[in-house]
Amino acid sequence: MAFESPTPHDLYLFHEGNLFQSYRTLGSHVTNQHGVEGVLFSVWAPNANKVSVVGDFNHWYGSNHEMNRLEQSGVWSLFIPYLGEGTVYKYQIESQHDGLLLKADPYGVYAELRPKTASIVRNLSGFDWQDHEWQKQKAEQSHFKRPMNIYEMHLGSWKLNDDKSFLTYEQLANELVDYLVSSGYTHLEIMPLSEHPFDRSWGYQIIGYYALTSRYGTPEQFMHLVNRCHQHGIGVIMDWVPGHFCKDDPGLRRFDGSPLYEYHDPKKAEKLLWGTLSFDFGKPEVCSFLISNAVFWMDVYHIDGIRADAVASMLDQNFDKPQEQWTLNEQGGTENLEAIAFLQKLNKTVFQLFPHALMIAEDSSDRPLITAPTYAGGLGFNYKWNMGWMNDTLRYMELEPEQRRHHHNWITFSFLYAYSENFILPFSHDEVVHGKKSLLNKMPGDYWRKFANLRLLYGFMAGHPGKKLLFMGSEFGQFSEWNDNEFAQLDWQLIHDFEKHRQINEYKKHLNSIYKQQSALWELDFDPAGFTWIDADNAEQGVLSFIRKSQDPNEQIVIVCNFTPNVYHDFRIGVPSSSQMYELLNSDEERFGGSGCINSGQYHAQSIPYHNQAYSIQMTVPPLATVMLKTSKPN
């Protein structure tokens, strides 16, 4: 592909905040000009006195390759003949105040392996994508009415090689994809993939937004991973960090010697909680940069969607700041009006270009309309993490069972607002690190009760309206919290050495399989017609029961959760029809590590009205367990 210097029209759109594929204009591109192969470099640095391209090719001496300023645009450009793919480079910027700066390319698509920080010229075209069926399926079937069971992972600590080195993208394309398929997940969510200097930032403090991290291999290897995910029916979601960036010298901070990507006012720019800087969402060029970045990952790498990190910190310009650091917007409030406008524009643009994309907000605020369309005043995301559900549910589950009846509202409150947004129910990495303990170790009681509580929790999660997300290691009951240190991986030996961990892993696979097969568990996730209470008020016995429904009136599932260690025999429960019923799931099965209180055979509903239902049955309710009963005959 031939690349030319940015045109006046390109520059106009860029400065208007409307150049949504600015990565095709800025950055470094292998091209041919006047019959000569070389690399075209373009960078935005409006306050620089002079900009040069430096690298091994000129002994890092900038005078030989000074860039040309394109009129008054603030964009500098230079074609250097005879350079090619693999060229290592930075921009040497002579600033008005800070002297000479050496900066990585904000639009660089590849970078040196840390601790080195230079950009590398890379041609990302030419990969032979074989995911046409996947793309066709996305266009034909609404994701809202499909199962979504997301496996969240950190690539560097899932598994390691024997020599403690990271698995490559190519290795993951085989081992990880096979694992996801056999475990019954529908989507993979990868913690930030963009280049970052510090391993233990997990990728959330970024230095190169367009540069796929080189820790795990090459861009082509990652394309192979995404391609193989799609070929096996697995969608790929990327954690994306539009709210803030790291302060490392080669990065975006004071890029041309002035606050360029960040706010000029330090009170507004500083993210004190994380030691980072906020993007200036009021600058059109920053909007072009960020919106193009979201588009870039979907366009070039076929990513199916993004999970936008820390949206609450974007919406409130005083998020987690001491009062002396507070600022007010032009209306006298604390909302970041520029960030709100940016997010609306981001979502509107992405859906225009990729109508079937997943745009997910990780938002801990109580702001309404996060997933409402922009024309209705919403932010325009199509999903939001349900942080309230996560917090209330874990707080409830950490209680000793005899205490739960005093806090019954913690487990029922989320149903009151379950349809106010399009929710994903997350048990993410944030809940199992920094002293918070693993999900298994949060559960109260002795060894048996911990596993029983965890099986109960996963069953309750599967039955609750909303899509699902689980962080790696939780599926086999990792006892230790996530170890994010270097040279650490998940405790895979637990599955092989301890029966309880093997059993809960088998239970989670079985539950995932049921979830995918049963349309009542996902088809009407965002329609109140898909849910009916049976009994929400039995706090004393600790039993919760409800019905999930699909569009087919014959496809209904009764879900009974017992949050106590008591066994209830001949327990009467209202059911919606006179159809025969059978036990679809019982988390207390012995093969899953339970006590074996199961309901074998089929139930014949009695014409005894109960729980506001026309019919009822009597059943055994097992201890600390989730039971699912299906109201139609098994296949």
Q: What six digits make up the tokens of 546?
A: 């409800």
170 classed as catalytic: no
C-alpha to C-alpha distance for 189 and 358, rounded to whole angstroms: 11
Which residue type occupies 131? D
Q: What six digits make up the tokens of 14?
A: 């860029």
Closest CA to 218 of 151, 173, 152, 160: 173
Main-chain dihedrals φ then ψ at residue 504, nearest 5 degrees:
-70, -30
Contact (Cβ atoms closer than 8 angstroms) between residue 169 and residue 217: yes
- Where does residue 35 rank: exposed (0-12), middle (13-18), buried (19+ CB within 10 A)? exposed
Identify any residues that bridge with 255 across adjacent strands, giving them in sequence order: none
Q: What is the 3-state secondary structure (H, E, C) of 357-408?
A: CEEEECCCCCCCCCCCCHHHCCCCCCEEECHHHHHHHHHHHCCCHHHHHHHC
Q: Which of the following is catalytic: 105, 195, 304, 362?
A: 362
Question: Collapsing DSSP states into helix, strand and coil, what is residue 624?
Answer: coil
Angle among Cα 552, 553, 554 to the nearest 5 degrees reads 90
Strand pairing class (556-562; 602-603):
unpaired
Identify any residues that bridge with 78 across adjacent strands, giving them in sequence order: 41
Q: Which of the following is catalytic: 309, 363, 431, 475?
A: 309
Which stretches of 186-305 are DSSP H helices?
219-231, 266-269, 284-301
Main-chain dihedrals φ then ψ at residue 348, nearest 5 degrees:
-60, -40
Contacts of 136 (CB under 8 A, 6+ apart): none
Q: What six digits make up the tokens of 286?
A: 């920053």
309 classed as catalytic: yes
C-alpha to C-alpha distance for 514 and 517, rounded to whole angstroms: 5
Going from the C-alpha of 316 to that of each of 265, 280, 319, 427, the distances in angstroms are 15, 13, 5, 24
C-alpha to C-alpha distance for 463 and 585, rounded to whole angstroms: 11
C-alpha to C-alpha distance for 625 and 583, rounded to whole angstroms: 13
Identify any residues that bridge with 610 across adjacent strands, giving them in sequence order: 613
Closest CA to 443 of 628, 183, 624: 624
Contacts of 1 (CB under 8 A, 6+ apart): 29, 31, 125
Closest CA to 631 of 537, 497, 534, 487: 534
Contact (Cβ atoms closer than 8 angstroms) between residue 19 and residue 68: no
Residues tagged active-site: 309, 362
